[in-house]
Amino acid sequence: MSERWVYFFGNGEADGSRHDKDLLGGKGANLAEMVRVGVPVPPGFTITTDASRHYMAERSFPPGLEEQSRAALTRIEEGTARTFGGGDDPLLLSVRSGAAVSMPGMMDTILNLGLNDATVEALARGADDARFAWDSYRRFVQMYGNVVLGVPNAAFEELLRERRDARGVEDDTGLTADDLRALVPEYKEMIAERTGVTFPEEPEEQLWGAVRAVFDSWDNDRAVAYRRHEGIPDDFGTAVTVMAMVYGNMGETSGTGVAFTRDPSTGEKRFFGEFLLNAQGEDVVSGIRTPVSISQMADLLPDAYADLLDIQERLERHYRDMQDLEFTVERGRLYLLQTRSGKRAAAAALRIAAEMVDEGLIDTTEAVLRIDPEDLERQLHSALDPNADPTVLATGLPASPGAASGRVVFDPDEAVRRSEAGEAVIMVRAETSPDDFAGMAAARAIVTARGGMTSHAAVVARGMGKPCVVGARDLEIAREGRSFKAAGHTVAAGDWVTIDGASGRLLLGRVPTVEPELTEHFHRVMGWADDARRLGVRANADTPEDARQARAFGAEGIGLCRTEHMFHGDDRVRAVREMILADDGESRRRALERILPMQREDFEGIFQAMDGYPVTIRLLDPPLHEFLPHDGEEMDELAWATGRRVEEIRAAVERHRESNPMLGHRGVRLAISVPEIAEMQAQAIFEAAVAAAADGVDVQPEIMVPLVATVEELRVQDRLIRDVATRVFEEAGREVPYMVGTMIELPRAALTADRIAEVAEFFSFGTNDLTQTTFGISRDDAASFLPRYIEQGILQDDPFQVLDREGVGQLVTLGTRKGRSTRSDLKVGICGEHGGEPSSVEFCHHAGLDYVSCSPFRVPVARLAAARAALEEAGNAEEAEEDGVDPGTPAEPSLESVA
């Protein structure tokens, strides 16, 4: 006996069920399931993905497929009381692809299969509509000619256009049944001329051609590209579902619609959808007619509506999730054509999950698994008003979400001035540098023409939770920097623009935005997530305000407090520059003493905001040249202020210039060359900690040395920091507990982590720099080739967004293992951009890290991702998956299969 390739469903029985998704595809499995639970579905059968794999390997149908299909066909004929390819009431079929993983619109579908010169007449009679029958036939020939025989659609459209011209009408609705009847032989002749193949009249021949074409469509270019992009294996293959056609356009007792069991925008528990009387799915899609609200169906087709209401409730209870339904009513009789988990807005997802727990449909574990962490962040930011219809000036990379409007400024000082005057400003720059920090802090949002997702602007904006678009390459900033051109508009400084950080768009004028709200549902679901997760979640925050924001979002400490911005600002940078220009340690120390009180104040504010939680402070990381002036005017000013010759200043700037600053004189290297800086910082930290402790704050400073490559570097710094601590504690007569640790952000640090852990009390993987060095890719320069890599499938993801498990991840795992081999209680975290990206958080969970740290606005994302990782590890994921929920890739709602 041959293998089973065909699974029948209909007539009250089904061979398959919802558990056969891998074998029957999502569509086929759910159709079978609906039959099993007594939902009316047109009968049909599904050819398995195994058959598809056999076909791909052998280029022929597996033995037994045709016989099994014929037997199933007979059962459809029995169920519908129609005959395939003949009789007064001919059975027509739809043939659709359906993979285990949703690949919306990627593969082919053929409708109305079974029509030929004989059956078309029977259809016309049955529907009592010759035009409908001939239009169906004409469309079938075109669809089949295109999909199965490979004739371009344009060739059909050409003949259609000629016909319209001959009739003198503007669109196809002007063509009569006779016009369409005349088109069919013209189509067939054209197909024969182009392909040398006669159009098959025999319905069974049509069927096998269609099945073959669906199998083949698995390997068409767009499907391959889509799979590459989504990481779907090439050997999954697609199932093929063959189903009796039903028609919603058979008069005033027929109709078609799409519905959701709850409101997909708000999550409210109410039946929601659209309906069209006497229409086909295509009519809804093409927009020729406007559908009405589903509730109006109650008046139009009361019996069918009552059935539908009952069915939707049963399906939701059965699947224990909000369903997206497609249905057709043919002459008063309701047929469900599809059900699947419905795609929903983030707010809706939270409400649905929380309310389903209350309704006893799901438990809290499942509620947590139902939320896509990536969706969550959108919840926290303002967004464009969905009713707005803005003019797009330029599109770049969506570097930091949120929407904001403001007046364009190009100059950071102007940004500060205007902002202090109470104006909303948007900063527009070719790219940003640390010099621009004050301007960025003053602006509502930031746009740059250059740079990638991890460029300076992107990282800083995300840290601040400000909307940001980077790499908007079409934006031409005028040389003198007082205007820019984009999409044919010239926008001057002071003009209004709006940023949509979520979509990466720069919009003309003031576009209305809607503000976010942290709902009760959000807090409930996040509470369940916190109960489930093992990983700690901290925030990257550099100021007391950010620290408070992070804490409000649930951060359990600060994993990265960068100190470099504390060197910026007019009052500070002057002292920093004097320090750099100083000729000896003594003058350096004097200059640094002026920065000390300001740093101390910064740290004290942060300790207060994080009372009871650890605060990891990274010592100065960037190279000194970032603090030096870059243009002539600023050099003149500095020369005047310091009483030095401009040539001296210029020489210093030149001396500090570097070929590859990313790999240059920064981090611990700087601290070893100019120990006075680290000394001052350590002093500021300990003095702030002692002062806060005196106010009753529970302070837990963790001092982090950046860019360590060898244990010896860390040893030198560790000694310096501990000496300062001893001195400060003695002077204050008070001690606070503290730790000294290091970033692991260079491959060598990970490779020698066992040595480094001899000194380090904690590790924090700086996966931004670790990714840069492991790949040898500068994130600032990656925009010129990385997008192509992802397009071509050379990389699945941008490694600066999603942690590269194979390479960088290997170093994280190795570094953690080696570190703990020396010091078993080593605290290990991650503070790169990846700390807030769900797949990377999942990796960190499995790598055994203690915590992740991310931008404040990503904290809830990380909390949820950490919970999912823990729950999935505990085996809950599989169960949820089998219940028809695939939380990672929500299904696209579509009408393509409603006929």
Q: Which residues are catalytic?
A: 456, 831
Nearest to 779 by CA among 862, 859, 661, 624: 661
Give buried/exposed letters for 716-742 (b at 16+ CB in 10 A, else e): bbbebbeebbeebbeebeeebebebbb
- The minimum distance between CB 607 and a copy of itself, in angstroms, equals 31
Distance CA 546, CA 463 (A): 8
User: Are 236 and 23 in contact, with CB atoms under 8 Å apart?
Assistant: no
CA distance 138 to 834: 53
Cβ of residue 785: shortest distance to a copy of itself, in angstroms? 5
The strand pair at 90-91 and 13-14 is best described as: unpaired
Query: Does residue number 709 form part of the binding site for a copy of itself (CB under 8 A)?
Result: yes
Q: Does 804 bind a copy of itself (CB under 8 A)?
A: yes
Considering only 384-392, 533-541, 729-737, 790-798, which stretch makes contact with a copy of itself by CB under 8 A?
790-798
State the burial class of residue 166 (Cβ atoms within 10 Å of its Cβ: 0-12, 13-18, 19+): exposed
From the CB of 332, what's the least distance to a copy of itself, in Å?
57
By CB under 8 A, is residue 332 in contact with a copy of itself? no
Between 111 and 753, name the residue whose CB sits nearer to a copy of itself. 753
Token readout for 793 is: 């499938």
Stretch that binds a copy of itself, among 39-47, 245-253, 333-341, 662-670 (CB under 8 A): 662-670
Amino acid at 877: A
Per CB under 8 A, 596 contacts a copy of itself: no
Scanning 81-89, 300-308, 777-785, 858-866 for contacts with a copy of itself by CB under 8 A, the matching segment is: 777-785
Contact flag: residue 773 with a copy of itself (CB under 8 A): yes
Query: Per rule CB under 8 A, is residue 514 in the interface with a copy of itself?
Result: no
DSSP element (H, E) containing 339? strand 333-341
Nearer to a copy of itself, 813 or 897 (CB): 813
Residue count (the chain)? 899
475 is a contact residue toward a copy of itself (CB under 8 A) = no
Which of residues 230 and 698 has its CB atom nearest to a copy of itself in the complex?
A: 230
Task: Kindly indicate which of the ranges 21-29, 131-139, 369-377, 785-793 contains the residues binding a copy of itself, using the contact rule CB under 8 A.
Answer: 785-793
| Residue with Cβ nearer a copy of itself (88 or 654) | 654
Nearer to a copy of itself, 238 or 742 (CB): 742
Q: Which stretch, 323-331, 500-508, 602-610, 788-796, contacts a copy of itself (CB under 8 A)?
A: 788-796
Q: What is the CA radius of gyration of the chain?
A: 33
Q: What is the C-alpha to C-alpha distance for residues 686 and 726, in angstroms, rounded to an integer?
A: 9
831: Cα within 13 Å, side-chain hemisphere = 28
Which of 270, 788, 817, 846 is the binder for a copy of itself (CB under 8 A)? 788
Instruction: Identify which of 151, 233, 114 has the alpha carbon closest to the alpha carbon of residue 793.
Output: 233
For 504-555, what is the HEC assignment? CEEEECCCCEECCCCCHHHHHHHHHHHHHCCCEEEEECCCHHHHHHHHHCCC
Work out whether 672 is an interface residue with a copy of itself (CB under 8 A). yes
**Which residues lie across from 334 on neighbouring strands?**
329
Cα distances from 335 to residues 308, 534, 813, 891, in angstroms, run 9, 47, 53, 21
**From the list 177, 598, 716, 790, which residue makes contact with a copy of itself (rule: CB under 8 A)?**
716
Among 173, 290, 660, 824, binds a copy of itself (CB under 8 A): 660
The one-letter amino acid code at 243 reads: M
Minimum gap (Å) between residue 702 Cβ and a copy of itself: 22
- C-alpha distance from residue 735 to each of 366, 558, 596 (Å): 46, 21, 20
Query: How many residues bind a copy of itself, per CB under 8 A?
Result: 49
Query: CB of 652: closest distance to a copy of itself in angstroms?
Result: 13
The single residue among 266, 710, 822, 839 that binds a copy of itself, judged by CB under 8 A, is: 710
d(CA 394, CA 189): 47
- Residue 657 CB, nearest approach to a copy of itself (Å): 9
Binding range to a copy of itself, per CB under 8 A, among 120-128, 322-330, 666-674, 849-857: 666-674
Taking a C-beta distance cutoff of 8 angstroms, is the pair 852, 844 a contact?
Answer: yes
Rounded CA-CA distance 841/744 in Å is: 17
C-beta of 57: minimal distance to a copy of itself in Å? 22
Question: In the set 224, 748, 761, 790, which binds a copy of itself (CB under 8 A)?
Answer: 748
DSSP per position, 848-896: T-SEEEE-GGGHHHHHHHHHHHHHHHTTHHHHHHHTT--TTSPPPP--T
> Strand runs (DSSP E) across 2-143, as ranges?
6-10, 13-14, 44-47, 83-84, 90-91, 93-99, 109-113
Among 37, 751, 790, 802, binds a copy of itself (CB under 8 A): 751
Beta bridge pairs of residue 560: 540
Residue 652's SS3 state is helix
Q: How far is the CB of 661 from a copy of itself (least distance, A)?
A: 7
Q: Using CB under 8 A, pick the residue from 735, 781, 883, 896 that binds a copy of itself.
A: 781
Which residue among 808, 812, 849, 861 contacts a copy of itself (CB under 8 A)?
808
Asked whether position 630 contacts a copy of itself by CB under 8 A, the answer is: no
By CB under 8 A, residue 795 contacts a copy of itself? yes
Distance, in Å, from the CA atom of 76 to the CA atom of 42, rounded to the nearest integer, reads 8
Single out the residue of 675, 747, 848, 893 in contact with a copy of itself (rule: CB under 8 A): 747
Question: Which of residues 401 and 451 has its CB atom nearest to a copy of itself in the complex?
Answer: 451
Those residues whose C-beta lies under 8 Å from the C-beta of residue 726, and which sit 6 or more positions away, are none
By the rule CB under 8 A, 22 interacts with a copy of itself: no
Residue 801 makes contact with a copy of itself by CB under 8 A? no
Q: What DSSP line would sit under 542-603, residue for residue?
A: -SHHHHHHHHHTT--SEEEEE-GGGG-SHHHHHHHHHHHH-SSHHHHHHHHHTTHHHHHHHH
Q: Site for a copy of itself (CB under 8 A): which residue of 731, 794, 821, 846?
A: 794
Minimal distance, residue 86 CB to a copy of itself, in Å: 52
Question: What is the closest distance, in whole angstroms, from the C-beta atom of residue 745 to a copy of itself in the complex?
Answer: 8
Residue 776 interacting with a copy of itself (CB under 8 A): yes
Min dist CB 384 to a copy of itself, Å, is 31
Q: Which stretch binds a copy of itself (CB under 8 A): 243-251, 257-265, 540-548, 776-784?
A: 776-784
Q: Is 746 in the site for a copy of itself (CB under 8 A)?
A: yes
780 sits near a copy of itself (criterion: CB under 8 A): yes
Q: Smallest distance, Å, CB 716 to a copy of itself?
A: 7
DSSP, collapsed to helix, strand or coil, labels residue 63 as coil
For 471: left if phi > 0, alpha if psi spans -120 to 50, otherwise beta; the answer is: left
Q: Does 230 help bind a copy of itself (rule: CB under 8 A)? A: no
Residue 893 engages a copy of itself in binding (rule: CB under 8 A): no
Q: From 533-541, 706-714, 726-734, 870-878, give the range in contact with a copy of itself by CB under 8 A.
A: 706-714
Among positions 78, 785, 879, 882, the unique one binding a copy of itself when judged by CB under 8 A: 785
DSSP 430-488: SS--GGGHHHHHHSSEEEESS--TTSHHHHHHHHHT--EEE--TT-EE-TTSSEEEETT
The binder of a copy of itself chosen from 100, 459, 811, 841 (CB under 8 A): 811
Among 4, 269, 594, 665, binds a copy of itself (CB under 8 A): 665
The alpha-helical segments, DSSP class H, found in 696-807 are 711-732, 747-751, 753-756, 767-775, 786-791
Report, in Å, the least distance between residue 655 CB and a copy of itself.
Answer: 9
List contacts with a copy of itself (CB under 8 A). Answer: 658-665, 669-670, 672-673, 707, 709-710, 712-713, 716, 745-748, 751-752, 755, 769, 772-778, 780-781, 784-785, 788-789, 792-795, 804, 806-808, 810-811
